[in-house]
Amino acid sequence: MNPFRTLLAVRCTLASVSTFNSPSWFTRARLALAGTAAVGLAGLAFSAAAAVSLELKGTWPGYVYGDARGAALAGRYAYLANNSGGLWIVDLHDPAQPRVVGSSEEVPFARAIAVSGRYAYVADSLDGLVIFDVTNPAKPVRVGGLDTGNQNVDVEISGNYAFVLSWQTGLNIIDVKDPAQPERLGGFPPGPGGQGSAVAVEGRTAYLGDSRGGVTVLDISDPRNPRAVGAFAGGLGMYAYDLEVRHGFAYVAAEFGGLQIFDVHDPARITMVAQHVNLHVRASGVALHWPFVLVSELQNTPGLRSGVQVLDVRNPAQPQPAGRYETSARAFGIAASQRHAIVLERFSGVSVLDLGPHGQPKAVGHLTTSDSAMAVAPAGDFACLLLSSGDLRVLDVRDPSRPGLVGSLDTGNDATDVALAGRYAYVANSGGLRVVDIGDPTQPRLVTSVLTNLDGFRIAIAGPLLAQIDDESLLSVVDISNPAAPRPLGSFDTGRELTAIAAAGNLVYVGDEDEGLEIFDISNPAQPILVGEYAAPGSVRGIALTSHFALLAFTVSACKSWT
């Protein structure tokens, strides 16, 4: 189960079943069918697990989230190597509204990408080179591939050849004249200077960056027998994350070494002609937009921002700062075209920059690539989907086979759960509770934010009350009879690590990490009372209620045995 798949529309013959993000939760999850408790009942009766019939009806958004690791620009499209999200094709016709128009999950760990003509070439960390026909961007088709070992980190295309760099096998030179039958012609093993980290090709010469900031130059006139003709040794802390070559100069993003510029006109006598170091960041990527070079940077000092540094390199020996753009997340890499640049922001997404004529980058759009579904709450024709980024998405689910987005709202970071009551959505996140008016699904509106005594983890609605648990041990009850002014009423410290919650009438059902299920009476919300318990054979991860039953989803530790 992919942890980044967003929404599965599923029908269940017994009850709605919620799915969770961690794939380990699916390893041995089972359903237990429990009898409903009455207040004051000494014990609970439970029946055997019943068969559940599930039928997949639809998905949204139709592609898998990941963490963009590589990008290539061609025409109006950006092609993303989105790690566990596979291949994404993004339409930049309107840079302010980049949108995914095609994708493929046939690359489980997409690390780098290059595009040439009608084909996209993906370096997959485990599967090697994977080739897609992208003639129709909406439907990329895998047409071929070749195993080049593990830890493939970069790919470059030159003519009919693909150059795939692997930590395990070094440089692989592959004939891709027939994309359906790629053939490895030759290679160059990892050198003593460190593992290969980046590759660039210009004419009959290939340039390899390594994990010590060094550069090796290869003569590839004979692809079956590439030979080293020059090298420059880097140093500790100078991992060559990325490199580009133009007109006899190599531009290397060398981590703590910043941007390093090498004169490679004579491969036998490579010299560093300039170095631009920002002591507070690590250089993580480089792209050319002549006469500028763009360097993505990871911040290294708390309180400082990552970003993109733009340098004028008309005189490579004296690079001059020309502009800067600060990112909201760690800038992990960059790709550029004649007008735009794509910045890869770790665990966030990609930003689209307008480069302009004078090296002053300006953000014009953003696309989230790294996200996961935290919770979903149905409401008639609509469903509210909460993403880990805090985005609340309102989906039209009248046709379950084709759910569609109609509205969205950013509710803040660290969001964990959503529940609906009437026209209001209640979102639990770090520091408290957000109340959102979804009366107009196309325009969700924040009504209020309430700080509570706990970081909201999971929530459930019980009439005019909201029950909330944190990820430690506290159950709290909040009055939501006035959605504009939620009011904390009471709490109960269970002394257990709480994991799940559901409510019906005056009863709140709480699951925990070790002990199972606890049932509380909140008739007096100022003083919740424990009225029943059930020792589940594992950690409770979800609770769903019907008129007569409570359904528990739980995981079982390998050290426990049960029937």
Q: 556: which 2 tokens?
A: 């079982």
- Number of folded domains that form the chain: 2
Helix (H/G/I), strand (E/B), else coil: 82:
coil
> How confident is the model at residue 135, as a pLDDT?
97
Average pLDDT by stretches of 10, the chain with 563 residues: 39 32 29 33 41 70 80 94 91 92 91 96 94 96 93 94 92 96 93 76 92 86 94 71 92 88 91 82 90 86 77 93 86 90 85 85 85 83 86 88 87 85 90 89 91 73 92 88 93 90 93 87 95 85 85 64 35
> How confident is the model at residue 535, as a pLDDT?
85
Q: State whether 549 and 478 are in the same domain.
A: yes
Q: 129: which 2 tokens?
A: 């080179």
Q: State whether 451 and 519 are in the same domain.
A: yes
Q: State whether 441 and 339 are in the same domain.
A: no
Q: 525: which 2 tokens?
A: 């919300």
Q: Which residues of 257-273 are buried (b: 16+ CB within 10 A; e: fewer)?
A: bbbbbbbbeebeebebe
Q: State whether 356 and 459 are in the same domain.
A: no
Q: State whether 438 and 387 are in the same domain.
A: yes
Q: 537: which 2 tokens?
A: 């054979």
Q: Report yes or no: 81 and 115 within 8 Å, Cβ to Cβ.
A: no
Is residue 84 in a domain?
Answer: no
**Domain limit, last residue, from 326, 346, 369:** 369
Cβ within 8 Å of residue 279, ≥6 positions away = none
Is residue 217 in a domain?
Answer: no
- Under DSSP, the state recorded for 300 is -
**Domain limit, last residue, from 348, 369, 390:** 369
Q: Which residues of 437-472 are buried (b: 16+ CB within 10 A; e: fewer)?
A: bbeebeebeebeebebebbbbbbbbbeebbbbbbee
Is residue 247 in a domain?
Answer: no
Q: Report yes or no: 418 and 394 within 8 Å, Cβ to Cβ.
A: no
Side-chain-side CA neighbours of 70 within 13 Å: the count stands at 28
Q: State whether 347 and 407 are in the same domain.
A: no
> How confident is the model at residue 94, as a pLDDT?
93
Is residue 547 in a domain?
Answer: yes
Is residue 96 in a domain?
Answer: no
Q: State whether 43 and 12 are in the same domain.
A: yes
Q: State whether 413 and 498 are in the same domain.
A: yes
> How confident is the model at residue 419, as a pLDDT?
93
Provide the Cα torsion 432, 540, 526, 485; round to 10°. Answer: 30
Rounded CA separation 244/221 (Å): 20
**Domain limit, last residue, from 369, 394, 417:** 369
Integer CA distances (angstroms), 481 to 90, 212, 429, 467, in order: 44, 62, 20, 13
Is residue 16 in a domain?
Answer: yes
Is residue 288 in a domain?
Answer: yes
Rounded CA separation 371/495 (Å): 32
> How confident is the model at residue 248, as a pLDDT?
92
Q: State whether 361 and 389 are in the same domain.
A: no
Element spanning 422, H or E: none
Q: State whether 440 and 524 are in the same domain.
A: yes
Domain that holds residue 303: 278-369
CATH code of the domain containing 439:
2.130.10.10
Q: State whether 353 and 399 are in the same domain.
A: no
Q: State whether 418 and 347 are in the same domain.
A: no
Nearest alpha carbon to residue 344 among 78, 5, 62: 78
